[in-house]
Chain A
Amino acid sequence: MCTVCGCGEDQEHGHSHEHPHEHAHDHTHDHSHGHGHHDYSLGEAGVHVAGMDQARLVSIEKDILSKNNQYATANRRWFNERGILTLNLVSSPGAGKTTLLTETIKALDSDSPVSVIEGDQQTSVDADRIRATGVKAIQINTGKGCHLDGHMVGHALDELKPATGSTLFIENVGNLVCPAAFDLGEASKVVILSVTEGADKPLKYPDMFHAADLMILNKIDLLPYVDFDLEACCDYARRINPGIKILQLSATTGEGMSNWLNWIKLNQTLAQTGITDQGTVS
C-alpha cells in the first residue's frame, strides 16, 4: 500500500504488540529502518505442527489490520501533539453528513479553525460544498475502495496541514460496513443515522455502532412524516454499545444543533489540554 513513500517499515519481536513508529507525514523521517529488532530466538519458526518440518512454518502472529493501525497511530500522535480534534463522520449514503458538516462549520466560532477531509468513491462535489463555506477541504477519491484508511489520511495531512488547536472533520465514504474496521487516528467516530432510514440499522450494522462514541439522529424535523421508532433505535444502539452517546437534531432546521456544537467544543477543549501555540513541548 505504501509504495509512494516506502514508510511501512515494521519492527517486530516475534510477538503481537504494536510498536508505534513515526510515520513522518511532515517528512522528518526520523524513524529507524528496521535494524536491531530481529529475533530468531524462537528458531526458524516457533510453531510446532506434528508431522511437519518445523522450518517450513513461520510464525507471524500479527493483527490483519496492523499495517493500517500503524498509520492510524502515527496520525493520532500527530493530532495529539498539535491539539487537533479529529472526528471521523460515518453514515449510510444520504444520511445528511455533508449538510450537517456545512451547517456545523457555519455555526462554529471563526476563531477555531476547521478543515475537512472528504472521502467519496468519485467526484469532488462534497469538497466543493465544504470549500464554499470558506474552510480548507481535501477530497480523497477512493475509486473502487469503500472506505478511507490511515495511510490515505496521513498523505492528505501533508497537503491540508491543519493548524495547531484546530478541528479536523473527516467525512468518510457513505458506508456503514467497511469504515468501521479502519482506524484513521481520529479522537472519535461519529455515526449519523437519519430518521428516514430503518430504526434497526444499529442491529444490522453492529460493528459501526460499536465503534462509534456518538450517534446523531438526523432529520428529526421529518419524524411526523415517517414511521421511525426513536426509542427502539436508541435501545438497539445501546445494546451494541452501552456507552454510546445519542443526540437528536435536524441540520436543516437547526433544531438540536446546539447540543452537537457543545459536544464538539467540549472535545476541542480536551484535545487542546496541555498544548501551547507551538504544540506540546517534548
Chain B
Amino acid sequence: MHELSLCEGIIETVEEQAVIKQYSRVKAVRLEIGRLSCVEAEAMAFAFDAVAKGTMVEGARLEIDEVPGKGWCATCSSEVEISQRFDGCPLCEHYPIEIRQGDEMRIKHVEVE
C-alpha cells in the first residue's frame, strides 16, 4: 500500500502550493499516472479519500489520466506500445525495450475555490 504514502505526498504538495497560489479549498485533484508506474488507480482512490480527511482536500474528486506505455526497440529501431515493463518488442519480439513513456506519476492541476 505505498499508494497511502503517495497520497500523503500529493496532499502535502497541494497544501504547500496553496500558500503560493492562494487557494483554501480543493474540489478536485488531477493526476497523470503512467501504465508502467507502480500505482494502482483503485488503491490510489481509496487511499486518497482516507488521507484527505481533515485537510483542505477533504471530499475532493480524484481524477486520473492514464498514460500509455511506450518504448524504443533498438533491435528493429521502432517506437512501440507496451503494457508492462518486461514486455518484449511486439514487432520483433526482442528484449529489452527502452521505456520512453508510461512511468510518470504527476500532479497536473487542482480545481479550487
Residues in A lying within 8 Å of B, measured CB to CB: 1-2, 8-10, 12, 16, 34, 38, 44-45, 47, 56-68, 145-147, 149, 177-178, 180-182, 202-203, 206-207, 210, 236, 238-242
Question: Is B109 close to A, CB under 8 A?
Answer: yes
Q: What's the minimum C-beta distance from A63 to chain B, rounded to whole angstroms?
A: 6
| The one of A66, A67, A180, A240 that contacts B86, using a Cβ cutoff of 8 Å | A240
Take A61-B107, A61-B109, A240-B86 as given contacts and tell me if A66 and B13 are in contact as well, using a CB distance cutoff of 8 Å: yes
| The one of B14, B20, B96 that contacts A242, using a Cβ cutoff of 8 Å | B96
Number of A-B contacts (CB under 8 A): 111
Q: Using a Cβ–Cβ cut-off of 8 Å, how many residues does chain B contribute to the interface with A?
A: 35
B5 touches A58 (CB 8 A): no
Question: Is B6 close to A, CB under 8 A?
Answer: yes
A64-B37 Cα distance, complex, nearest whole Å: 12
Residues in B lying within 8 Å of A, measured CB to CB: 1-2, 4-6, 8-10, 12-14, 16-17, 19-21, 23, 31, 38, 84-86, 88, 95-96, 104-113
Q: Which residues of A contact B113 (CB under 8 A)?
A: 56
What are 7 A-B contacts defined by CB distance under 8 Å?
A57-B111, A58-B17, A58-B23, A58-B111, A65-B6, A66-B13, A147-B5
A60-B13 Cα distance, complex, nearest whole Å: 9
A58 touches B112 (CB 8 A): yes
A177 touches B17 (CB 8 A): no
A182-B110 Cα distance, complex, nearest whole Å: 24
| The one of B14, B96, B104 that contacts A60, using a Cβ cutoff of 8 Å | B14
Take A1-B8, A66-B9, A67-B13 as given contacts and tell me if A38 and B2 are in contact as well, using a CB distance cutoff of 8 Å: no
Q: What's the minimum C-beta distance from A239 to chain B, rounded to whole angstroms?
A: 5
B16 touches A8 (CB 8 A): yes
A1-B11 Cα distance, complex, nearest whole Å: 10
A149-B8 Cα distance, complex, nearest whole Å: 12
Q: A16-B106, A177-B38, A202-B86 are in contact. List 10 more A-B contacts (CB 8 A).
A: A9-B16, A58-B109, A61-B106, A62-B13, A64-B13, A145-B4, A145-B5, A147-B2, A178-B5, A181-B2
Q: Which residues of A contact B17 (CB under 8 A)?
A: 12, 58, 60, 62
Q: What's the minimum C-beta distance from A202 to chain B, rounded to whole angstroms?
A: 8
A2-B112 Cα distance, complex, nearest whole Å: 24
Q: Which residues of B contact A177 (CB under 8 A)?
A: 2, 38
A64 touches B9 (CB 8 A): yes
> What are the 3 tightest A-B residue pairs by CB atom distance, in nearest-first order?
A178-B2, A206-B85, A64-B105
A203-B84 Cα distance, complex, nearest whole Å: 10
A66-B20 Cα distance, complex, nearest whole Å: 17
Q: What's the minimum C-beta distance from A71 to chain B, rounded to whole angstroms?
A: 11
A182 touches B2 (CB 8 A): yes
B9 touches A56 (CB 8 A): no
Q: Which residues of A contact B20 (CB under 8 A)?
A: 12, 34, 38
